[in-house]
Structure 1
């Protein structure tokens, strides 16, 4: 693992980039992440994360670091990253033994790693993720046993603290890559890899630890592709022609199919996963990346001698071969002191207490794009007191049609949340480790169903922004449309989660009434049930094949060609459950399952309970 000279942005530059990104980003504006190399080798990561947390925490924007070096982790860094929410921390020791970490030039002691993990646990993190590799050159069984001991020690550290402290250990297989000091080393034999992996599966059975691993056969194919020459391209094309698709998914990866592709194209995969001679011409030698082959050979020799190569960002040049006069390389300096960022705040009026009367002062308008809220501090002389900012409840009505019907309920909630934030709607968030908007939604509908009546109850600060609907719909995909957002007085009850009745329409495309026997029988049973319901409304008893016949409020035939049936169902007063429309078709109308799958079901309207009493269809416009 050679350490090459870095080109580091200083904190003001990075902070300015994040601010511009926060104001103009079209993706998820609730989390900023840094690349692994940036977070692992930037000398000012602690200073920058502190300033980013200070600038964006009021907008509930969190900071995410993919993986960290244990020797760069600190209490201050943990506090900065966990300012808004605490995700799992990821450390990459790469190897379980100190000897192997020295071999790959990652000189981190077990004490440094344990200290970093204990710091994270103490600061409130409940999940730590560790990434290891097996199959490294010179690895032995003793190194694998030390990996198990390391995981066991992490569990002992976690028992010092209250609450469940967990560990995810991810095991990868070493794959030699081009332009690295180990590009000449072989991919370990699959039998050896499987033996070591099976040992880890059998021994890492601790209640606090979860073991995950990559398929060694998939890594074997990766090794062929990473060091292959132009002949491997023929095998790659043959694998595609044989049906290899989405091989990154475990359920789609077919090792035998890949081996068949190699055989039919005349390529020996083991040839590319062997030990390569140090004087052998490599397929990628004609590519100049700036780092010399001589330097990589020297680094490989230092690894086998366990001689450390120090980071050249501190000014100690290792002679890797990067051309030029180093004008574009910025050597690291000591982290700069955090400078208070001049943030523009929106000052909201605080009530002046005078008996039972309240007076307000004008609100200072923020510049365009600022969404921060600040409550003025107490000032006894002026009569100002601290008061919590109250959020107003609103109900949002949206429709789901066309291609949007294939979006899941969670995906839709995330899309609408992002659209609200981009449209400058100041949402109220929950408190705790993982803040999220205070949403209450009408019950989720099955995937593939369209709906005219979907609702979200939310809380927001201040008045609604101008042109809110148009701005939100601009960010939403086709078929997902916000119809209205209106104030909603619920007296603290989330009534949109309590539907009383729901009306649906089921349409069978291509049906021609009684011409198809199954459709004709369905139409006949629907007409019979309509007649029985009419008698039931007159006080007569009737028999139904379903025990939920009392949940049927109304039933009618919208059209016969094509067949379209409308029906209204009510909830079970005992359980509060609502019959699913497909269950109604199959259990009440005795529709064959194959025919029921062809029905296009649409949700037309919903009736709710409001403030303890029934409310007719909730209409917002």
Structure 2
């Protein structure tokens, strides 16, 4: 039963230089965990079916990654959906999809756990399994294959993806996933069969075994599930009762590139009791459970030291409702002010945006300002139970513009139940009113409007509601777009077909699995990305599998009709959802149960499971305030290597890596002035992606009074593999020296008589004209004979050359390789090219303190 992890050394390293953003796939980030796969009992991967930039921002994945890796008997790795270019390279080279940390093929793992956060990622799940050479459907897998499981909010209605998974987790994953790991290890030690493990997993709260249910379809065409086993007929959502005691990483992984959420994210609470009737998260994450301010401040201190982030975001479904928000913000601002760490909040309710809170947010840097009115009229806001008034929105925008914000984002939905033309006109009237508010320096502020189509979701009062079809949505979007064409207003919207497809997945039954697989086979991939989305593929798949499958999904459902997710118990009882559906029709609202009376949703037992709030707010700790703006500091000149995997960092990524490494090293940096202060760091002319260097130059400004030896020592320990400090010193007067005139390079070539012949041709030619095109399309004609100061072929593989500028044009080794040896850009880029150490100048080179 034991499975050996057959680790491949570098299954994709040889193609990294051929793909966009290769740093996505390195797996060597700061704070990542690596273990010898042979030293653990359970080797598994957390898989995210979208690009690295999306998945690495998901805090749920980070929580589970660090929680399980704290155990010596478990090694958890990560894998993300490869972009299309790497997908193509893997298929062409016949290499399987592998984990990031150890490069283990997914098929050699014990368990693969997918995060299902978004319905339009479903085809990516199938593609990742196919790239891993794992059968798509659970029924096709046997003892030799990994167990494939899933979790996330989409498991609220697991049926469209149920046939592809051995097990699915409904609810909070922290406790149940650890329990599943323990059960797996006991099962593995016994050597029992796969069905035995599934039966044991089925006993755990929150675990759904799809193969233990059979789908039946009545004359009405609706799915009814029949349980095969009496002890696994319904699945109750797993809940972490005390969030303050739940694990949360204080050393989260710091991505190399620019993820969608490039900041430290703190989950301050989980759950919401506002009762918005369209909001699935507000229902399935009940009750409200807060983390204590003291715990959050401790996490903040540890995490900022461990990551070097310059932005901090508070994360929850309703951040403004956090009990001690004002005191927490004051403490955070005191901690973050000197370090120039900006604190931001997600979309806030307009009635919670007080002037004091907004003033705190802007004290370091004005981050984004977003409000979600959702509907344009008070009547429709009452229907959806969005208990904010128009005057709250107006007041919040007025205060934002007065405090210096120039852009406000507004979110609205179209197609909400009972919506009329008057409600659409209400959006236009509200935006028009907000547009009249003067922004900074009496200028008009800008309004960004985001429009999405309402999608009914499982376990909400609107689970029975109708959804607009694509044509209806286009008509309403067109009506709004035409009337919102005004200066200073920008309108964005989601494609109606994308919303329609999401609705099919959100309320579909098990027959949708055939449609998903058929669409994937036709090429559907990354459906959540507008530039990749192709609805025609889905229409073709639907036609092939049976048009009736989706025909009634977007229509209103009868309250007594069977629902595909009936066997999944969200803990919110059906009577409450029905009452709220009727209340919506009457535009009757209910208040937040934290401030009012219990509405009987059925979630709380008021023993173990109940709202957990913290009303003991911490005393604000006063720091030494802002840094002295008058201190211009001192300049450090450094030389660093960029070799091995570091060659795959872009220049922007290198700048990011150093900025955060300096923060982690505790360096007191000098910042620019103005709206968005940035650390004073500069570099020589950046290397092309894929080129190595034994010595690149950079300059940093640090505040006076710091030990430069200590800075260099600490900085060196914070750099990723392939980057190290080789020299450094203080520059008197802070003046940068000029760059070397001639650079020396070494290129590894395969021995080839043709290459030797072309090199001889170059030596014999009196001139060598070359047309160099920049990435902006400009053309420069140069004589390479004037640029190349020396060139020598050392047997058997090394070509050395010294290159200088000519006519103000910088020539790279790839230019020489393409022109002299007639290689194409791809072939030239694949050759290992190393730039020699930067030449020392009187103000550059190792100082005595650096040598010591």
Question: TM-score scaled to structure 2, two decimals?
Answer: 0.59
Q: Where does residue 6 of structure 1 map in the other structure?
A: 288
The DSSP-based 3-state class of the residue aligned with 1:312 is coil
Whole-Å Cα distance in 2 between the matches of residues 28 and 262 of structure 1?
A: 48
- Cα shift at 1:562: 4.0
Note the 1:598-613 alignment, pairs <5 A.
599-606=831-838
Would the aligned equivalents of 1:423 and 1:465 in 2 still touch at CA under 8 Å?
no
The separation in 2 between residues aligned to 1:395 and 1:10, in whole angstroms, is 44
Aligned residues: 552
User: 1:33 matched to which residue of 2?
Assistant: 313
Is 1:478 the counterpart of 2:714 in the alignment? no
Question: What's 1:203 paired with?
Answer: 483
CA distance in 1, matches of 2:523, 2:434: 43
Separation in 2, partners of 1:228, 1:331: 35
The question of 1:427 aligning with 2:669 is answered yes
Shift of residue 459 of structure 1? 1.4
Question: Aligned pair 1:227/2:507, yes or no?
Answer: yes
2:551 aligns with one of 261, 270, 279: 270
Kindly state the Cα deviation for residue 482 of structure 1 after the two structures are TM-superposed. 3.1
- Cα distance, 1:224–1:466 mapped onto 2, change above 3 Å: farther
Q: Is the 8 A contact 2:729 2:846 kept in 1?
A: no
1:526 aligns to what? Answer: 762
More displaced, 284-293 or 133-142? 133-142
Among 791, 809, 813, the alignment partner of 1:556 is: 791
CA 1:311–1:450: 2 relative to 1, 3 Å: same
What's the counterpart of residue 512 of structure 1? 752
2:458 matched to which residue of 1?
Answer: 178
> 2-side partners of 1:276 and 1:93: how far apart?
27
Contact 1:555 1:567 in 2 (8 A): yes
Residue pair 2:690, 2:829 contacting (<8 A) in 1 also: no
Equivalent-residue separation in structure 2 for 1:167 and 1:456 (angstroms): 40
Q: Shift of the alpha carbon at 1:53?
A: 0.6
Residue 121 of structure 1 is matched in structure 2 by: 401
* Structure 1, gaps ≥5 residues long: 346-371, 376-386, 534-544
Residues 235/318 of structure 1: CA separation in 2 closer, same or farther (3 Å cut): same
CA contact (8 A) 2:293 2:618 kept: no
Q: Deviations over 1:451-480 (max 9, x none)?
A: 223222011233347765565454433323
Identify the residue that residue 333 of structure 2 maps to in structure 1: 53
User: Which residue of structure 2 lines up, in the alignment, with residue 404 of structure 1?
Assistant: 646
Moved more, 293-302 or 231-240: 231-240
RMSD of the TM alignment (CA)?
A: 3.3
Give the conservation status (yes or no) of the 8 Å contact 1:36–1:65: no
SS in 1 for 2:668: coil
The answer (yes or no) to whether the contact 2:634–2:730 under 8 Å persists in 1 is: yes
Where does 1:37-436 land on structure 2 (aligned, <5 Å)? 37-158=317-438, 161-162=441-442, 165-266=445-546, 268-325=549-606, 329-330=610-611, 339-341=619-621, 388-389=630-631, 391-436=633-678
Shift of 1:254: 2.3
CA shift at 1:194, angstroms?
A: 1.2
Match of 2:698 in 1: 456
Which stretch has the larger CA shift, 107-116 or 14-23? 14-23
Label 1:6 to 1:552 Cα distance change in 2 as closer, same or farther (>3 A).
same
Matched with 2:273 is: none
Cα shift readout 1:29-63 (whole Å, capped 9, x = no counterpart):
32221124141432432332122112221121211
CA contact (8 A) 2:344 2:368 kept: no
Q: Relative to 1, partners in 2 of residues 1:304 and 1:209: Cα closer, same or farther, differing over 3 Å?
A: same
| TM-superposition CA deviations, 1:210-242 (whole Å, max 9, x none) | 222222212222111111222223333333343
Contact between 1:239 and 1:258, CA under 8 Å: does it hold in 2?
yes
Q: 2: CA distance between counterparts of 1:21 and 1:597?
A: 38
Matching residue of 1:383: none
SS at match of 1:396: strand
Cα 1:617–1:494 change in 2 (3 A) is: closer
For 1:229 and 1:373, locate their aligned partners in 2 and report how far apart those are by CA, in whole Å: 57
| TM-score normalised according to structure 1 size | 0.80
Partners in 2 of 1:147 and 1:58 — Cα distance?
41
Offset at 1:78?
0.9
Larger radius of gyration: 1
Cα pair 2:818 2:824 within 8 Å, conserved: yes
Q: CA separation in 2, counterparts of 1:337 and 1:89?
A: 25
**Per-residue Cα deviation, 1:518-575 (whole angstroms, up to 9, x for no partner):** x35631332125x779xxxxxxxxxxx9445696261312336547251311264xxx
Match in the other structure for 1:570? 805
Q: CA deviation at 1:178?
A: 0.7
Unpaired runs of 5+ residues, structure 2, are 1-275, 769-779
CA pair 457-465 structure 1, distance change in 2 beyond 3 A? closer
